[in-house]
Amino acid sequence: MLELKRALCIFALFKKQSMNSPSKKLITAALPYANGPIHIGHLAGAYLPADIYARYLRLKGEDTLFVCGSDEHGAAITLRAKKEGKKPQEIVNQYHELNKKAFEDFGISFDIFHRTSDPLHHETAQDFFLALNEKGVFEKEEKEQFYDEEFQQFLADRYITGTCPKCHNPGAYGDQCEKCGSSLNPQELIDPVSTLSGNKPILKKTTHWFLPMQEHETWLKEWIEEGVVDSKKQHDPKSWRKHVIGQCKSWIDGGLQARAMTRDLDWGVKVPLKDASNKVLYVWLDAPIGYISATKAWAKKENKDWKAYWQSSETDMVHFIGKDNIVFHCIIFPIILKAHGNYNLPVNVPANEFLNLEGQKLSTSRNWAVWLHEYLADFPEKQDVLRYVLCSIAPETKDSEFTWEDFQTRNNSELVGIYGNFVNRALVLTHKYFDGEIPQAKADLSEYQSIVDSLKQYAQNCNQYLQAYRFRDALVEAMAIARLGNKFLADTEPWKLIKTDEAKVKDILFISLQIAANCAVAFEPFLPDSSKKLKNLLNLKSANWESLGSLEILQSGNIINKAEHLFQKIEDEQISLQVQKLKATEKQTRMEEKKYLPLKEMIQFDDFSKLDLRLGTVTTAEAVKKSNKLLQLDIDLGFEKRTILSGIAKHYTAEEMVGKQVVVVANLAPRKMMGVESQGMVLMAENSEGELNLINTEDSFEPGSNVS
């Protein structure tokens, strides 16, 4: 009854695709900045779900194009180049190759991984800009922009930092606060500072070409909320994730503003106008067009028509991104596509939320991350393990967290303990009892109908969840097939039956091997390397998605190969090393982020010699009433006793201070505080976090000794 209710619920949630569905699918994944390596947050946010979906569609036999490439322009690149003392082209070349290899190693099956520094992209982006400009889409306007006087250049948004006006994060950028996720205008920052000179920038006039987004609010609102554009139903907004719709509505309801589509930089796609010297295209105009230029490059190589994927009603386009890119893919890019004319808009933008790491937000600048190339060095040939874990915890509707402990548990308990264990037992027993030959089952398997029905149900659920971009749920259903097989073998115990009922053992192992073949198919979008290995073990030459749920994938009489483990256990020592690695990173980052108080005004030796510093011993101490900071200390200076008030109550108790030797400024004029006359000052050391510590001598000296 529970299984029936579950099936009815899923059927109600997901409608089957129409027979008239588009014949082509274009999948894009956010272009990664070529200013650093790829980490697990990037993989979980955009590239893994996009790859799962692309592999799923290909298994179904659909005409699918999956494009991506390096975003090689913008301030993020020039900032990295400045930091490393290199030219921007050197930086993008380095990280393009590093990231391309990382994607390949993790089985991200792009049909093309292009780059925006390619001449074809520059030509495509410039042509796009000119077409929009000729249609009067832009507004040329002179406005004030931050300018660094020392470096004599206008500052791109990322060259400006300051305090976020919304969450008061002191390290917000001119275009976005990475702490609260708010999109910002540089002039909104509190106390803005140039990252080039460290100085406060001035405002200076410059000319830019603006996209008046407010003029597009009406059709955008109808498109996002109702799925209608130009009076035609284009998509089902109910299939879009709530946080995507919510963020778009928030932007539109708050009133869209004009945004400059050009920048004063010397690195990027040059603005192709005579009166725009030393200006480049805004990276969020330039980068999304990279999807188009990537398609053009692929089509040229494959002798295909690129327009069939961008300008045909027979094609559905889906953007896979992180939530920080929602506004660009759901508002800015659709505006320029529609304004240009003849381009498709996305039918869905299944943006993920953020992935955190061990209780903290992933941070490239703080090196708080698990980098893909480093992961493979530490866990060779375990790409599928990370793919499995990241999909299991995918931040599809809310932020999620990766921990090394959970990583180990999911590998050992689920991949090894359930999936791998089931497959291994099925293959080992087949070789043990039937010399590796797939047994012939009897015609009537009705006694196993519940197993057959469950298999079909899990297969159907997996398919419907994949259609709905619910990859976590789809993976659960794939693992449910492995659980089904594992439990089936445990319940039927063929190792006991073989002595009394060989025919029944044939039925059991036939069904078990068919379930294993179903696992190979169901897991293929998620764990491509493992599925390939399992297919080889089963001597399964081909199996498409339509075979999922069937007991006819394998043919009786065929010989399977000897069992090999699909997955290996991960030991505690390996996990401990990763945790220690993160702790070392955190410690190093804290050291690098330490801030020291600036040096005070220079003094002469005579000024210093005026200070009379003496050693004293605290004889009694008590808290000062009505103060949470002050302690009243009676101090023996040898030649006399003094009462001194010291603001150390948050760092030392009165009891701790008794008997301590301290350094006293003995010739400081007395000052009355809280009704008590303080006759000097106790010297303390203070760190960047405001913690206080006593200054002591190596050996105990007599009170009154001079300090110089």
The answer to whether residues 410 and 517 belong to one domain is yes
Measure the CA–CA gap between 622 and 633, rounded to whole angstroms: 7
Domain assignment present for residue 452? The answer is: yes
- Taking 60 as the threshold, does the pLDDT of residue 19 lie above it? no
The answer to whether residues 433 and 338 belong to one domain is no
Q: Which of 119-133, 363-377, 385-399 has the lowest mean pLDDT?
A: 363-377
Phi, psi of 678 (to 5 degrees): -95, 125
pLDDT score at 597: 63
- Residues 366-393, mean pLDDT to the nearest whole number: 96
Question: Does residue 379 sit in helix, strand or coil?
Answer: coil
Each residue of 55-104: pLDDT tens digit? 999 999 999 999 999 999 988 888 888 888 999 999 999 999 999 999 99
The answer to whether residues 525 and 414 belong to one domain is yes
pLDDT score at 266: 87
pLDDT score at 560: 97
- Taking 90 as the threshold, does the pLDDT of residue 485 lie above it? yes
pLDDT score at 596: 63
Domain assignment present for residue 189? The answer is: no
- Taking 80 as the threshold, does the pLDDT of residue 379 lie above it? yes
What pTM value is reported for the model?
0.83
Domain assignment present for residue 239? The answer is: no
Q: Give the pLDDT band of residue 313 (cuts 50, 70, 90).
A: very high
Torsion angle, CA of 481/487/488/491, rounded to 10 degrees?
A: -170
Each residue of 34-55: pLDDT tens digit? 999 999 999 999 999 999 999 9
- Tally of structural domains, the chain: 3
- Taking 70 as the threshold, does the pLDDT of residue 225 lie above it? yes
185 vs 435, higher pLDDT: 435
- Residues 6-20, mean pLDDT to the nearest whole number: 43
The answer to whether residues 450 and 381 belong to one domain is yes
- Taking 70 as the threshold, does the pLDDT of residue 264 lie above it? yes
Q: Give the pLDDT band of residue 441 (cuts 50, 70, 90).
A: very high
Burial environment of residue 578 by CB neighbours within 10 A (0 to 12, 13 to 18, 19 or more): buried
67 DSSP 8-state letter = E
43 DSSP 8-state letter = I
Contact residues for 79 (Cβ-Cβ < 8 A; gap 6+): 35, 158, 159, 195
The answer to whether residues 107 and 26 belong to one domain is yes
DSSP states of 404-460 as a string?
Answer: HHHHHHIIIIIIIIIIIHHHHHHHHHHHHHHTTBPPPPPS--GGGHHHHHHHHHHHH
The answer to whether residues 484 and 535 belong to one domain is yes
pLDDT score at 594: 63
- Nearest Cα neighbor of 161 from 131, 133, 193, 184 is 193
The pLDDT > 70 percentage for the chain reads 95
- The CATH number for 488's domain is 1.10.730.10
- Residues 623-635, mean pLDDT to the nearest whole number: 93
Q: By the 8 A CB rule, do 66 and 114 touch? A: no
517, 547, 577: which is the final residue of a domain?
A: 547
15 vs 473, higher pLDDT: 473
Each residue of 113-135: pLDDT tens digit? 999 999 999 999 999 999 999 99
Each residue of 282-291: pLDDT tens digit? 999 999 999 9
Domain assignment present for residue 225? The answer is: no
- Taking 60 as the threshold, does the pLDDT of residue 336 lie above it? yes
Domain assignment present for residue 588? The answer is: no
pLDDT score at 589: 74
The whole domain housing 312 covers 20-136+282-352
**Amino acid found at 50:** A
- Nearest Cα neighbor of 262 from 210, 215, 334 is 210
- Taking 80 as the threshold, does the pLDDT of residue 4 lie above it? no
The answer to whether residues 400 and 522 belong to one domain is yes
Q: What is the mean pLDDT of the chain?
A: 92
The answer to whether residues 485 and 402 belong to one domain is yes
Domain assignment present for residue 479? The answer is: yes
- The CATH number for 619's domain is 2.40.50.140
pLDDT score at 510: 98
Q: By the 8 A CB rule, do 296 and 306 touch? A: yes
Q: How many CB atoms lie within 10 A of CB 365?
A: 11
* CB-side neighbour CA atoms (13 Å) of 236: 8
Q: Which of 323-327, 366-370, 454-458, 588-592 has the lowest mean pLDDT?
A: 588-592
352, 381, 405: which is the final residue of a domain?
A: 352
The answer to whether residues 537 and 651 belong to one domain is no
Long-range interactions of 84-90: CB distance < 8 A, separation 24+: 88/267, 89/117
Tokens representing residue 48 in the block: 């893994």
- The CATH number for 28's domain is 3.40.50.620
The answer to whether residues 394 and 521 belong to one domain is yes
Domain assignment present for residue 453? The answer is: yes
The answer to whether residues 332 and 460 belong to one domain is no
pLDDT score at 75: 80
Burial environment of residue 212 by CB neighbours within 10 A (0 to 12, 13 to 18, 19 or more): middle
- Residues 169-178, mean pLDDT to the nearest whole number: 84
Domain assignment present for residue 95? The answer is: yes
547, 576, 595: which is the final residue of a domain?
A: 547
Q: Give the pLDDT band of residue 645 (cuts 50, 70, 90).
A: very high
The answer to whether residues 445 and 521 belong to one domain is yes
Each residue of 140-165: pLDDT tens digit? 999 999 999 988 888 888 889 999 99
- Taking 60 as the threshold, does the pLDDT of residue 201 lie above it? yes
